[in-house]
């Protein structure tokens, strides 16, 4: 979470775009424009906590990592199930299990 004064230009532009406001200009112009809009909307810019672009990016990355982990686990379970059904697979599974425990 980011405070109003810590917002970077991409964050200011995104916030202005979300409010349907002009998002062009230098940082000070964007900062002043967003502050005025928030005050008009009845929000206190200095008390409001924003989600930064980096925070959103980190959430997306975390979600992708979690999905990848689930896919890996699913693939592992599928492979184990196939090995159990195959002839002579018992020895392979036992060998794999004993290697994990070492």
30-66 confidence digits (pLDDT tens): 999 999 999 999 999 998 887 766 666 777 788 888 8
Q: Is 45 in the same domain as 58? A: no
> What is the arithmetic mean of pLDDT over 11-21?
94
Q: How many separate domains does the chain show?
A: 2
**Per-residue tokens: 98:** 């004993």
Q: What is the percent of the chain with per-residue pLDDT over 90, rounded to a whole number?
A: 34
More confident position, 66 or 96: 66
Q: Is 31 in the same domain as 66? A: no
Output the average pLDDT for the chain: 82
Q: Please, are residues 33 and 22 in contact by the beta-carbon 8 Å criterion?
A: yes
Alpha carbons 83 and 86: distance in angstroms, whole number: 5
pTM beyond cutoff 0.75: no
Question: Which of 40, 33, 3 minimizes the C-alpha distance to 16?
Answer: 33
- pLDDT, residue 62, reads 82
Alpha carbons 19 and 41: distance in angstroms, whole number: 10
Alpha carbons 68 and 26: distance in angstroms, whole number: 40
Note down the domain range covering 90.
53-101
């Amino acid at each position: 979470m980011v405070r109003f004064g810590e917002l970077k230009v991409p964050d200011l532009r995104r916030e202005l775009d979300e409010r349907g406001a002009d998002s062009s200009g230098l940082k000070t112009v964007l900062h002043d424009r967003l502050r005025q809009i928030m005050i008009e909307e009845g929000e206190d810019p200095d008390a409001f906590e924003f989600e930064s672009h980096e925070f959103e990016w980190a959430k997306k990355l975390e979600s992708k990592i979690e999905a990848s982990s689930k896919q890996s686990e699913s693939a592992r379970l599928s492979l184990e199930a196939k090995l159990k059904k195959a002839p002579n697979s018992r020895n392979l599974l036992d060998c794999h299990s004993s290697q994990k425990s070492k």
